[in-house]
Amino acid sequence: VENCSFLVLQTKGEQVAGKEMSVIVEFTNPLKQTLENVTLRLEGPGVLRTIKKQFGSIPMNSTLTWEVKCIPIRPGLRKLIASLNSDALRHVYGELNVQIQKP
């Protein structure tokens, strides 16, 4: 979609408290230029601690994939939120609700 950029979040593995799962964040650069100084941030209270990661640059039309392994602590409905900032593109968000099961 032109000029509509967002982060896509998905999970991999069992969503069970105390068991390892993965959160995958995907972002495709929608601009006709390379994004520089890219920072991704992922937070999810009760699922993972807030993590920030620097990425150098993302060429136009290329997709960045970031996989984070975590062990959810508390069961229940949790929200994962990812945000991306760079020189040319700021405050790009994505979120995902996950239902963490009891062990």
Name all domains of the chain by residue range, CATH numbers in brackets: 8-100 (2.60.40.10)
Task: Look at 5 and 79; give whichever has higher pLDDT.
Answer: 79
Question: Please, are residues 20 and 73 in contact by the beta-carbon 8 Å criterion?
Answer: no
Q: What pLDDT sits at residue 6?
A: 85
pLDDT tens readout for residues 33-65 = 999 999 999 999 999 999 999 998 999 999 999
Question: Please, are residues 25 and 82 in contact by the beta-carbon 8 Å criterion?
Answer: yes
The yes-or-no verdict on residue 4 having pLDDT over 60 is no
pTM recorded for the entire structure? 0.91
pLDDT band at residue 73, thresholds of 50, 70 and 90? very high
For 85, the token pair is 């900032």
Question: Please, are residues 79 and 54 in contact by the beta-carbon 8 Å criterion?
Answer: no
64-68, 70-74, 87-91, range with the lowest pLDDT: 87-91
pLDDT band at residue 5, thresholds of 50, 70 and 90? low
- Count CA atoms closer than 13 A to 96's CA, side-chain side: 21
